[in-house]
Amino acid sequence: MNHLLVGRVLSLGLLMIVVVLALSTCGGDEKKAKARPLPEDPKALGPGTYRSEEFKPSLSFRVGKGWSSSPLEASDSLFIKRGETMDLGFTKPQEVYKPTKDEALQIVDAPKDLVGWFQHHPHLQTDKPEPVTVGGVKGEQFDVVVADLPEDYESVCGSDCVGIVRLSTGSQAILTAGYKLRLIVLEDVQGETVTLGFGGPASTFDEFAPEAQKVLDTVKWRDS
């Protein structure tokens, strides 16, 4: 009987060691999974979870291999890249470029109905919006390309592109002819309207889209 008791005690002791090791491993994994801030300078991003520092509403997302950071994260914009021509970004539109032929460079306040604004933009071609949810927030998604532009057309970014949003950094969110953008508009992220999406050359868009969608599927909105 004593030998059996000793055997049970040893078994329980081994079980406790296994449990402790398992908990230690889980703790290490959680530490590794902790969201990191994006680099301030353009550089390759290691696979993992990243969080916004300047952009509000705050968010986090996870990337795999092949992504890199873009500079100048701001309160109204955050972008990352894949390769040289593929972009994924988040913006909080405050000002847009008025889409008229004679006032291509005129800046106005962003409309409340941003989906309708894109749908009726004379220089953009969009498909029908579809319902979508990102990070638990409902919105609408649609693809956008540049429409046929007038011969004498001129915008803030030239004659072959359309200026869309002016950002607080002084730069612009634009769409160039030959490129395709998949845009999502969320009208109530902690009371703010946020646009997010990804784009690149139309010829390689379908190849890039699944990788970008993987990132958007991991978005989590955080309390500011």
The band of 106, judged by pLDDT with boundaries at 50, 70 and 90, is confident
Band of pLDDT at residue 224, cut at 50, 70 and 90: low
Domain limits of the chain?
1-34, 36-221
pLDDT tens digits, 140-199: 999 999 999 988 888 888 889 999 999 999 889 999 999 999 999 999 999 999 999 999
Residue linked to tokens 């990102």: 134
What is the Cβ-side half-sphere exposure of residue 11, based on CA atoms within 13 angstroms?
6
Phi-psi region at 18: left, alpha or beta (left = phi > 0; alpha = psi -120 to 50): alpha
User: Strands across the sheet with 59-63, in order?
Assistant: 36-37, 48-51, 59-63, 220-221
Residues in the chain: 224
Other beta carbons within 10 angstroms of residue 98's beta carbon come to: 13
* pLDDT at residue number 130: 97
- Check residue 223 and give its pLDDT: 75
pLDDT, averaged across the chain: 86
Q: Are 48 and 33 in contact (CB under 8 A)?
A: yes
Segment 72-92 shows an average pLDDT of 95
Q: What is the pLDDT of residue 145?
A: 98
What proportion of the chain, given as a percentage, has pLDDT over 70? 82
Predicted confidence (pLDDT) at residue 32 exceeds the cutoff of 50: no
CATH for 36-221, options being 1.20.272, 3.40.1000, 1.20.120, 1.10.10: 3.40.1000
Q: What is the pLDDT of residue 87?
A: 96
| Rounded Cα–Cα distance for residues 130 and 169 (Å) | 31
The closest alpha carbon to 195, from 181, 207, 205, 185, belongs to 185
Which pTM does this prediction carry? 0.82
CA atoms of 177 and 165, how far apart (whole Å):
16
Strands 48-51 and 36-37: parallel
Span 5-19, pLDDT tens digits:
444 443 444 434 344
